[in-house]
Structure 1
Amino acid sequence: VVAGATGAVAREAVVLLVSDPLVSRVVALSRRDIPRDEWPKVFPIINPAAAAAKLTVAAVDWEQATRVTNADGQAEAEEESSAALAAVFTGHTHAFNGMATTRGDAGSAEAFQRVDLTYSDAFWRLVVRHSGGTIRHGTLVSSEGADSSST
């Protein structure tokens, strides 16, 4: 499962995972739904045949995911959301968190923290809750020290 799948680093992870013959399933998480015909634009060098066979793109509302993971007593609406999230987060062996932004791109320090801390925390909580028995490896990519002009 790959969070932040449309970001610069996670997008490349999705392409590599899809092309790896040892990987049978890739679930790419995005803030919005990405129709299959848009995959080549979002993941420019993806192998279309391999992607069709093993890639699933799932839209996740991270605000809602945060509420679900922090709720002690879930309301009925949150239970429905929780079931949808469980379907996305169940059965994974590897998790890659590429959700990251910069303060400049986020627009404020608070928005930056929301993505880099709050949403990231929700991602890991959902991974542990729904794939805790099968998860073998987790990776986190942070924007800390990122420089788009570096080579």
Structure 2
Amino acid sequence: MIEDWVRLGALLEDDPEVGKAIRHAGRDGGDVRAALFDALDDAGALAYMEWSDSGVELADALAQVPRVFQTGADLDEVGDVAGRLTEAITRADGILSAHDLRTVYLDEGSDACPLVVVASGDVEEITALAARLSFTARTF
């Protein structure tokens, strides 16, 4: 099962430290899910949002994610969304899809909204692996 977590981590972020952190937690009997989130955060791949956040806050957070930064995607339209965060995420996802990227929500078991940006072609495998691990990962 640890290999599924390592694979999931690799799909979410290509920094090898993510896999190392997951393996370390698995070896030491630690919380592998927490290790995944910590490693994603350390790699800068996690846009950690609150459901009450605005489109402006989402645009700012996503702009810092390395995969988004590398594309130069213009997220100004995301900041124009005055509604709920889910509407802003949907708008961001549409913009990022032009760069072959998708925004994925990872359920960490809290009231927060942790997001990662992944290659579009990896979404199906990510959601399948997460389901196998009793963990929710979904797009908007």
TM-score greater than 0.5 by the shorter chain: no
TM-score (norm. length: structure 1): 0.27
Q: Which has the larger radius of gyration?
A: 1
Structure (1 or 2) with the greater helix fraction: 2
Q: Which has the higher contact order (CA 8 A, sep 6+)?
A: 1
TM-score (norm. length: structure 2): 0.28
